[in-house]
A and B are shown apart, each in its own frame.
Chain A
Amino acid sequence: MKVRFTLRSSMPWWRGPMLMGAAALVTFLISAIVIRWAGGSPFAAARYMFISPLQSKFGLTEAVLSATPLVFTGAAVAIAFRAGYWNIGAEGQLLAGTIGATLVGINAESLPRFVGVPLILLSGMLFGAFWALSPALLRTRLGIDEVVTTLLLNPVALLLITGLLNGPWRNTETGFPDSDVIADSTKLWIIWPDTRVHFGLAVGVVIIGLCWWFVGKMSGGLKLRAVGLAPGAARIAGLPVERTLLATALVSGAIAGLGGASEVAGVAHQLTTGISNSFGYTGVIVATLAALSFIGTLFVALLFGVITVGSFSASRALQIPSTIGELVQAILLLTIVSALVIKKYQVVWTRSKSQVRD
């Protein structure tokens, strides 16, 4: 038996949804085996993981809350990838954003809130963009591959935070390596009363909308896509390739940084070394699963939020490890990416050489 892929030329509308359904089913089947192994019931686990978060207000809001940073990092990664700029540094840029936000947050006593909030978000964006600047310059000026440089700057950002928290920003009350709590005037509004869902989510949704509108509907977006798909042709057509890449990298960093600011100002209200639960890396997965579509990114981020919350309740109720959530996310990545390949390519199974096609 041999497998071969050929490009599909046309596709009925239902194939996309059907393949996604199949991917979900396969994900369930594979996860079921592992969950069985761990001693849980797959059906119960699936219910805890996907259904129960949606059944209680608490579950739902916690899911939305954990989706919020992924909306930012997913959008950041998607826009960069669309331009052919392989930014793997959303993690570092988000962390830089948390530094920027904290800097404003702990120094902004006695400001009105409608000044403090924009200020803290803006600072996060600037720091995120700044963190993205040097790899982007290296790439556009010297042609140095950005995959490595953006990736390597991620631990640097974390070390910088650790340094700050053990030095100048050590908590003045407790002495722990956490920053002081940020000023009330810079805390984000709660947009869903009596929950922790904050203004950052609204900002994230707006960012998604802006990205979608820009890439799909604006002239700059067409240029961005052309640069991403065929930089040589874009250059011949007189498009400013390097400038487009640089601008996209900075915007991508700014979006990730905004995500960091939203975490600090929206939920944590202080800087800790654990502020990011690998949001930047998960953002790469989210954007990939969404096939780099922005609306898709929003939904995948929400799905990941549900899984994160659901895996905790499943692990509590069924006595299985809570890493099951990450496991499901990883399997989902594999099955969805396979489905995307099958969507684009036709898979031909062949047995042996001289067989008649019928």
Chain B
Amino acid sequence: MNSVEGVAIASRGGAPSIFLSNITKAYGETVALSDVSLDLRTSEVHALLGENGAGKTTLMKILYGLTQPDSGQIKADGVALQINSPRDARAAGIGMVTQHFSLVKNMTVVENIALAIARTFSLDLDSVRDAVVAASTRYGLEVPPDAIIGSLPIGLQQRVEILKALMSGCSYLILDEPTAVLGPQDIDSLLEVITQLRSEAKIGVVLISHKMAEIEKIADRVSVLRRGKVVSSSLANGITSKELITLMVGEQESGVVLRSESQSHGRDPILVLDSVVVKMEIGGLNNVSLDVRPGEIVGIAGVSGNGQTELVNILSGTLSIDSGTIAVEGATLTQNTPQLLMRAGVGMLGEDRHASAVHALQVMENLVLDCVDNFATKVQLNRKKMLEHCESAINQFEIKATAKQVFGTLSGGNMQKVLLARLFSRKPKVAIISQPTRGLDVMATSYVRSLISKARLDGTAVLLVSEDLDEVLELADRVAVMYRGSVIGVVDGANASREKIGELMAGIVR
């Protein structure tokens, strides 16, 4: 399926050289992996698929030494490996880019790489810098060597992570949902890099992803995990996404979202932004005016970094505005603090689910965090009521977790469902939803989208920010395109063409 090179090669990878055999790992009651075997080859892109919570991350964490299996073995070239730490893994030629980057934000690119690769006591930054430049040309991974990490967009930070792994000499590279955090352009260039690493540097890449399109595009081999078991592992050649989805979820009906007529005609807008300005060194908002009516989904499209994050932040109250007004139901807010917005009926699903929840607290505690007082009689917490609420949310939103489970141990998709449950169970008048399906599996994605459409039918005004243009087009009644911190145009969702939106995203107004 090497459409990139236009030639289909039956098996391009070398002979299998890393074997994971009979890996089992349980976390208390949950069996994350049961008797999983998998082999990896160099010069091959091996896609790892599976629903949220299927155990993909866990398996790769074991290979990279971030956790230990309960039983099972890892062998490389016939020799049993004892991988107790990422350091052992790197010594065995295995590198990994985890979903949460491990970069020091206020150090430069070169310093960060030096931290990972320097083995001597004295530090020769100049030679590291030369090595970085050389490696980045060699692998086609352009990075600005002297930039501070925190100032780089996420796509470039990811490149630094990849470069770091490559420079410590790995011949296997594990990428855990690398495309989940990227916009469309960055995804394309990442996929190019991956193909190049495979073909030219002969690196075996393990790619975890929920996006069928990219798997079809670049995977040589596909393994599917379902509830901790490998249900299929074969060459990617000739497998359709439909078959893969069936393998992932079993024989289930996927919930189809039917688009219905907009309910919002002639109703007064409930959320109105008027010439909002946020001054920042880079980015910021520049005279943004926007309104959302009840029962309407307004989608925000745009190349990432054109003010979407700032827009979400002012509506969650974490970024204050310099001028302009925000009004909810006709009442202008004196200040956009989280509390005032929340009281006005604005609910929020942030783009970073890890930052939106307290990992060390239980699911049920996180679920009521933004309305704790509703679960207290006088001031005393009513745990029974919390538990009931949580259990009904777990049922209604099909969350695979127990009420008392610690939030941090949920899989990504289930974390997202808990946060959505938190948002919708307050019945907000306005819901600000940012990147709702990032990192979610196919089923969960369609489920989440159907939830958003349902909220719209219930009369909620939804502002949807997503880097996935298909998602915006599927859900939005109107699409507002952002460019350089302002809304450059608003098009009707039903007859929006990708071309028109694409032009607007590039800043072309006609």
Which residues of B lie under 8 Å from residue A235 when comparing CB positions? Answer: 318, 338
| Complex interface bits, B1-44 against A, C-beta within 8 A gives 1, otherwise 0 | 00000000000000000000000000110000000000000000
Which partner residue on chain B sits nearest A227 by CB separation?
A: B358
Question: In the complex, A237→B375 CA distance in Å?
Answer: 15
Q: Which residues of the other chain, B, contact A238 by a CB distance below 8 angstroms?
A: 317, 338-339, 341-342, 370
Known A236-B348, A356-B82; contact A226-B379, beta-carbon cutoff 8 A: no
> Which A107-157 residues have C-beta < 8 A from chain B?
none
Residue-wise, chain B 353-375 has the 8 Å CB interface mask toward A (1 for contact) of 00111111100010011101101
Q: Which residues in A have their C-beta under 8 angstroms from that of B81?
A: 353-354
A227 to chain B, nearest CB (A): 9
Which of B85, B361, B372 contacts A219 (CB under 8 A)?
Answer: B372
Q: Across the interface, do B361 and A350 meet the contact criterion of CB distance under 8 Å?
A: no
Known: A218-B380, A218-B381, A356-B80. A237 touches B370 (CB 8 A): yes
The listed residue (A225, A348, A353) touching B68 by CB distance below 8 A is A348
Q: Tell me, yes or no, whether A222 is within 8 Å of chain B by CB.
A: yes
CB of B370 within 8 A of CB of A233, answer no
Return chain B residues, CB-CB under 8 Å to A191: none
A354–B360 CB distance below 8 A: no
Q: Does A4 touch B at the CB level, under 8 Å?
A: yes
A230 in the interface, Cβ–Cβ < 8 Å? yes
Q: Which of B28, B350, B359, B381 contacts A236 (CB 8 A)?
A: B350
Contacts of A57 in B (CB 8 A): none
- Chain A neighbourhood of B357, CB < 8 A: 230, 233
Task: Provide the bound-state CA to CA distance between A180 and B358, in Å.
Answer: 52
Bound-state CA distance A252–B278 (Å) is 38
Cα–Cα distance between A229 and B316 once the two chains are bound (Å): 20
Most chain A beta-carbon contacts within 10 A, residue among B67, B357, B372, B380:
B372
Distance of A221 Cα from B381 Cα, bound (Å): 9
Pick the contact of B82 from A6, A219, A357 — CB < 8 Å?
A: A357
Determine whether the beta carbon of B358 is less than 8 Å from that of A236. Answer: no
Q: Are B359 and A10 in contact (CB-based, < 8 A)?
A: no
Q: How far is the CB of B83 from chain A (nearest CB, A)?
A: 9
| Complex CA–CA separation, A235 to B320 (angstroms) | 14
Residues of B within 8 A of A55 (CB): none
Contact with A along B366-402 (1 / 0, CB 8 A): 0011101101100111000000000000000000000
Provide the bound-state CA to CA distance between A220 and B81, in Å: 50
A223-B88 contact, Cβ under 8 Å, with A217-B381, A229-B360, A233-B358? no
* Nearest CB of chain A from residue B463's CB, rounded to whole Å: 16
- Separation of A296 and B503 alpha carbons in the complex (Å): 64
Q: Check if B373 sits within 8 Å of A219, measured CB to CB.
A: yes
Residues of B within 8 Å of A225, CB to CB, are 358, 361
For residue B84, CB closer than 8 A to chain A, the reply is: yes
List the B residue with the shortest CB-CB distance to A355. B82
| Contact of B91 with A by CB under 8 A | yes
User: Is there contact, CB below 8 Å, between B365 and A222?
Assistant: yes
**Which of B316, B318, B379 has most chain A Cβ within 10 Å?**
B379
Determine if B28 and A354 form an interchain contact, defined as CB atoms under 8 angstroms apart: no
Could you say which residues of chain A place their CB within 8 Å of the CB of B88? 353
B73 close to A (CB within 8 Å):
yes
Closest to A231 in B: B358
Residue B241 CB within 8 A of the other chain: no
Q: Across the interface, which residues of A come within 8 angstroms of B258, CB to CB?
A: none
Q: Which residue of B lies closest to A220 (CB)?
A: B379
Q: Decide if B409 is an interface residue (CB 8 Å cutoff).
A: yes
Smallest beta-carbon distance A136→chain B, Å: 20
B79 at the A interface (CB under 8 A): yes
* Interface assignment of A207: CB less than 8 Å from any CB of chain B: no
A221 to B82, CA, bound (A): 44
In the complex formed, the residue of B with least CB distance to A2 is B84
When the two chains form their complex, are residues A222 and B360 in contact, meaning their CB atoms are under 8 A apart?
Answer: no
B360 proximity list for chain A (CB < 8 A):
229-230
A234 contacts partner chain B, Cβ-Cβ < 8 Å: yes
Q: How far is the CA of A235 from the CA of B348 in the complex (A)?
A: 12
**Are A4 and B380 touching (Cβ within 8 A)?**
no
List 7 tightest A-B contacts by C-beta distance, closest first: A10-B28, A219-B376, A237-B370, A230-B358, A9-B27, A237-B369, A238-B338
Give 15 pairs: A residue, B residue, CB < 8 Å, sorted on A.
A9-B28, A217-B381, A218-B379, A218-B380, A229-B360, A230-B358, A230-B360, A233-B358, A236-B338, A236-B348, A236-B355, A238-B317, A238-B370, A239-B369, A353-B82
